[in-house]
């Protein structure tokens, strides 16, 4: 009898707990309904992110699906797990949020625990005055003047990219290459030289340390992708279970490389107009908030986090943009020919030299690819380097159109590497 009473008590408690949990989850899922905001259908606990949580689709694919499900509305709600999110679709509203009124939208996604994640103090997770001020400083590091100043470094990487593709032919007229790997090595070298002042050597050695660490920053397996999404959408749950977004290897690498670079410049009185120099000056002088005049301390963790974020975005997003662009051009020879004709004509006017001024004149390339100033300069310069010497066609391992995203990716990373057949151009224009 005692055992039976104990069993019934346990079942009663369990039932109450389940009922309360159901009520709570239902309340969370009614957040947008209570506010009168149109919302896509969602599942308890998972919201619209179940497939992304289990790495069955990439996060960009998940967001695109939600965009389509919302239909013709200026904005609408959805849920990433139990986190209410708002998707803005109207162009005028987007411009207000991102441009004219951006200072009022200072909070980002759920902040990660900086005790658990020292690298979480980057722009995507910062909020308030610190985000507002750091955004201005980071933007200044990639201004028009800095793009013009750093172009010779980008050009050096473009020359190495051409040489690398030539070497891959091994005496043959053509070769099947994976765009993703090739261009990730190129953009790794670019961001390493322009932001860190460091020769990464990724083009010459795809297994170089920077390239290897770069591939580890964002989730690269289903298990890691699921854990990372859990940390982002339910940070308290992630902290409770000790789940981390960045691996210890990644954190220790950037801690070491950033602080060693800063110390080296201080000891040797080296001054370079790059992101490391900006971080060095902020670390020594701090940040004065333009809103209330208060001093904001710039810690080592804050510095390292910004450098890591700049490196990741610098090589990851630009390489993916270039890969998708060349993939589409390989499937559309007519567009590739138009792009190549523009490249040839502009380079001829500039004596065959790829200059900063030359790529500004390539307006057809602007129709093919657009992302920010520094990234656009890198992408266009890289495309010019390749289109001026090589032709791109589909091969047996090429993806269809549109190319798929890696299901365990947080960014729009091409699945399968995006293979194309690269061949030498049969003729080159007279310079």
| All domains of the chain in start order, with CATH | 34-90 (no CATH), 139-424 (1.10.630.10)
What's the confidence (pLDDT) of residue 158? 95
Q: Which of 43, 20, 36, 131 is nearest to 76 (CA)?
A: 36
What's the confidence (pLDDT) of residue 248? 86
Q: Which of 233, 227, 262 is nearest to 246 (CA)?
A: 227
What's the confidence (pLDDT) of residue 178? 92
Cα 208 from chain centroid (whole Å): 20
Write the burial class of residue 92 (CB in 10 Å: 0-12 exposed, 13-18 middle, 19+ buried).
exposed
What's the confidence (pLDDT) of residue 382? 94
What's the confidence (pLDDT) of residue 73? 94
What's the confidence (pLDDT) of residue 157? 95
Q: Which residue ranges of the chain lie beneath pLDDT 50?
A: 1
What's the confidence (pLDDT) of residue 111? 56
Contacts of 75 (CB under 8 A, 6+ apart): 37, 38, 86, 87, 88, 89, 90, 93
What's the confidence (pLDDT) of residue 115? 60
For tokens 């965009």, the residue is 67
The pTM score is: 0.84
Tell me the CB-side half-sphere exposure of residue 40, using CA atoms within 13 A.
26
Q: Which of 177, 184, 186 is nearest to 423 (CA)?
A: 177
What's the confidence (pLDDT) of residue 109? 62
């Amino acid at each position: 009898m005692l055992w039976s009473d104990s069993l019934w008590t346990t079942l009663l408690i369990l039932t109450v707990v389940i009922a309360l949990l159901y009520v709570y989850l239902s309340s969370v899922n009614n957040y947008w309904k209570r506010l009168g905001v149109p919302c896509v259908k969602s599942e308890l606990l998972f919201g619209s992110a179940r497939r992304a949580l289990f790495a069955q689709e990439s996060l960009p694919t998940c967001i695109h699906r939600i965009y389509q499900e919302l239909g013709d509305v200026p904005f609408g709600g959805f849920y990433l797990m139990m986190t209410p999110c708002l998707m803005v679709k109207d162009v005028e509203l987007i411009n207000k949020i991102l441009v004219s009124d951006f200072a009022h939208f200072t909070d980002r996604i759920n902040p990660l625990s900086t005790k658990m994640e020292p690298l979480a103090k980057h722009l995507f997770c910062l909020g308030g005055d610190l985000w507002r001020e750091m955004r201005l400083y980071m933007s200044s590091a990639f201004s028009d003047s800095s793009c013009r100043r750093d172009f010779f470094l980008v050009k050096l990487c473009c020359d190495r990219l051409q040489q690398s593709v030539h070497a891959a032919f091994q005496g043959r007229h053509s070769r099947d290459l994976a765009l993703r790997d090739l261009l990730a090595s190129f953009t790794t070298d670019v961001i390493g030289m322009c932001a860190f002042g460091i020769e990464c050597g990724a083009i010459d050695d795809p297994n170089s340390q920077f390239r290897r660490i770069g591939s580890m920053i964002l989730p690269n397996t289903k298990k890691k992708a699921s854990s990372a999404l859990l940390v982002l959408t339910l940070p308290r749950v992630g902290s409770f279970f000790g789940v981390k977004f960045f691996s210890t290897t990644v954190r220790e690498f950037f801690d070491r490389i950033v602080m060693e670079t800063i110390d080296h410049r201080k000891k040797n009185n080296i001054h370079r107009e790059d992101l490391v120099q900006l971080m060095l000056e902020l670390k020594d002088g701090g940040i004065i908030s333009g809103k209330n005049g208060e001093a904001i301390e710039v810690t080592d963790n804050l510095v390292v986090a910004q450098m890591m974020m700049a490196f990741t975005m610098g090589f990851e997003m630009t390489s993916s943009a270039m890969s998708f662009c060349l993939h589409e051009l390989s499937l559309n020879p007519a567009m590739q020919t138009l792009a190549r004709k523009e490249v040839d004509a502009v380079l001829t006017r500039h004596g065959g030299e790829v200059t900063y001024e030359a790529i500004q004149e390539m307006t057809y390339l602007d129709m093919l690819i657009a992302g920010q100033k520094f990234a656009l300069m890198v992408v266009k310069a890289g495309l010019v380097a390749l289109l001026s010497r090589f032709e791109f066609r589909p091969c047996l391992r090429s993806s269809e159109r549109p190319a798929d995203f890696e299901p365990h990716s947080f960014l729009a990373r091409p699945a399968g590497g995006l293979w194309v057949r690269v061949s030498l151009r049969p003729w080159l224009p007279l310079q």
